[in-house]
Amino acid sequence: MSIKNLLAIGFIFAGFSVGWMILGVVNTIRTEDQTHVLLKRVQNAYGGPLRITPPQIYYEVTKEKKGMVGGFDTVSSYQQKEFIDPSRSNIDIDLKLERRKVGNLWFPVFLALYQGEYEYDIESVPEKYRNHPLFLLPGLSSSESLYRSIEMKINDVEVQPLSKLVARTPMELAAQASLTGKVKVEFRYETTGTDYMLYVLAGQQQSPPKADRDDIRPSGELAQVDRLTRLDNFSANLRADFEQYDFPNRTIPPTKREKHDQTNQFEWHLDKTVTGKNIGIIVPKEMSPGDIAARISFFAPVSLLFFVVVMVIYGILSRRELHPMHYFFLAATFLSFHLVFAYSADHISKYAAFSIATLVSCLLTFSYLTRVNDWKHAAISTLLQLLYLVVFSLSFFYRSPTGLGITGLIVTIISVITLFVLMQLTSKIKWEATLEWNVAKQT
């Protein structure tokens, strides 16, 4: 193999690499555009990320705020909510994955069954506020979600009608003076969500209004700010029927994890704990054909580089060297694989599209090299294409149980094996004599 031919092959390799970069960018843009449009359609039907908010009991106290308006000292009063943290919580959540395919994209939709039992200690309220009425916020805070089979009981008495549970509408319980001991609240419902589930532990409290008139909201509502929540006798059980998962940022890790078949069970047991964090889990996403096509396209130069290097060495060993134009057409068969997969996966299963792309690419290679040399040379070359193109590309479909990709591991193993085989086969070659043979052959 002369230096001139090697440079020509390198030029062909660089040109096809640019083409794959362009194809990868096109696939990425197509996928992002479709995701933005179709995600809204899915969320309209199943809701967005699910936020489960527990019932909140509070009482209101009158407070004053001093300020300056027009150069004069002013004193304004406002009502502030003082929340009562539960003295005992027992939460049970079941998540069932129900992915939905829209177009050529898969979206992580899930069904959630939530059940919660809470106790609130009335005696924890300061004595001077014991004559204030209690209010309860049910916690149905999302107008985008569809809640089914809703049941709420307060001290074992079912709340009727359900219109009382409308989101953010407080329910007046009774004057605290008429209540003794504890208030027990039981709450359950079914709903759906996408992407992730978050159980809101950190409560909210009202911030005092500012004196500046521009800060007054037309609705008269006060701004909400996060507050620390005390957890006493807190127990939460979460069951998810999917293997891969992750946890959102700033959430409390589970105190116990168990796995039964394909179901993961997480438990949180906390007592005498103060936190500003929540509990949650991220539902795994199914890799869409567009994402896979883009990643395979960006990785294609690596596959072609392995193939070309091995083919050059194989040509030297077998005295069947190929012309740079032969490598041009072989590189084109690689490109045909990516084109067929990228544009057929929009209409059929990604596995069917991958199989068709593999068949087309390998058939082109085998039929071409059969005419160039013979069927044995063509068969070996096709097997190399299956290894460096198909196996490398297929690795993008799978992930380890922890959610990590396996492509890097597959490439590492195959590259080490390839290096070992090439070193053994070329260890006896006299490279100077080989180059002299090529020069003599060309003259």
Instruction: Please give the full DSSP string across 165-195, using - where no structure is assigned.
Output: G-TT--EEEEEGGG--SEEEEEEEEEEEEES
d(CA 208, CA 223): 8
User: What is the reported pLDDT for 333?
Assistant: 93
Question: Residue 328 class from Cβ within 10 Å (0-12 exposed, 13-18 middle, 19+ buried)?
Answer: middle
Segments making up each domain of the chain, as ranges: 3-37+288-442, 48-282
State the fold for domain 48-282: Immunoglobulin-like (2.60.40)
Residue ranges in the chain modelled with pLDDT below 70: 1, 70, 102-104, 141-144, 163-168, 174-180, 202-227, 400-404, 431-443
Q: What is the pLDDT of residues 112-135, one digit of tens each?
A: 999 999 988 887 777 777 777 788
Question: Residue 419 class from Cβ within 10 Å (0-12 exposed, 13-18 middle, 19+ buried)?
Answer: exposed
Residues in the chain: 443
Among candidates 337, 315, 318, 317, which has minimal Cα distance to 327?
315
Neighbours of 22 (CB within 10 A): 11
d(CA 374, CA 377): 6
Neighbours of 96 (CB within 10 A): 15
Locate 418 and state its tokens.
Answer: 């390839």
Neighbours of 49 (CB within 10 A): 17
Q: Are 126 and 168 in contact (CB under 8 A)?
A: no
User: What is the reported pLDDT for 368?
Assistant: 92
Q: What is the pLDDT of residues 174-218, one digit of tens each?
A: 654 455 678 888 999 898 888 888 888 865 444 444 433 333 333
Contacts of 391 (CB under 8 A, 6+ apart): 410, 414
DSSP 406: S
User: What is the reported pLDDT for 15?
Assistant: 92
Collapse the DSSP code of 412 into the 3-class scheme (helix H, G, I; strand E, B; otherwise coil) and give the result. Answer: helix
User: What is the reported pLDDT for 167?
Assistant: 58
Among candidates 407, 406, 361, 355, which has minimal Cα distance to 385?
361
Q: What is the pLDDT of residues 274-300, one digit of tens each?
A: 888 888 888 877 777 878 888 899 999
125 Cα distance to chain centroid: 42
d(CA 136, CA 134): 7
Among candidates 331, 330, 336, which has minimal Cα distance to 373?
330
Residue 216 is which amino acid? I
Angle, CA of 342, 347 and 349, to the nearest 5°: 80
Q: Are 283 and 246 in contact (CB under 8 A)?
A: no
Collapse the DSSP code of 399 into the 3-class scheme (helix H, G, I; strand E, B; otherwise coil) and give the result. Answer: strand
Q: Are 31 and 294 in contact (CB under 8 A)?
A: yes
Which segments of 319-430 does DSSP mark as H helices, in order?
324-344, 350-372, 375-385, 392-394, 407-426
Question: Residue 13 class from Cβ within 10 Å (0-12 exposed, 13-18 middle, 19+ buried)?
Answer: middle
Contacts of 159 (CB under 8 A, 6+ apart): 152, 153, 165, 171
Whole-model pTM: value is: 0.68
User: What is the reported pLDDT for 216?
Assistant: 32
Locate 397 and state its tokens.
Answer: 């479909």
Contacts of 300 (CB under 8 A, 6+ apart): 16, 17, 20, 334, 335, 338
Place of tokens 């994955």: 97
The side-by-side arrangement of strands in the sheet containing 56-69 is 72-84, 56-69, 133-137, 171-175
The answer to whether the bond into 161 is cis (omega within 30° of 0) is yes
Among candidates 327, 333, 435, 332, which has minimal Cα distance to 11?
327
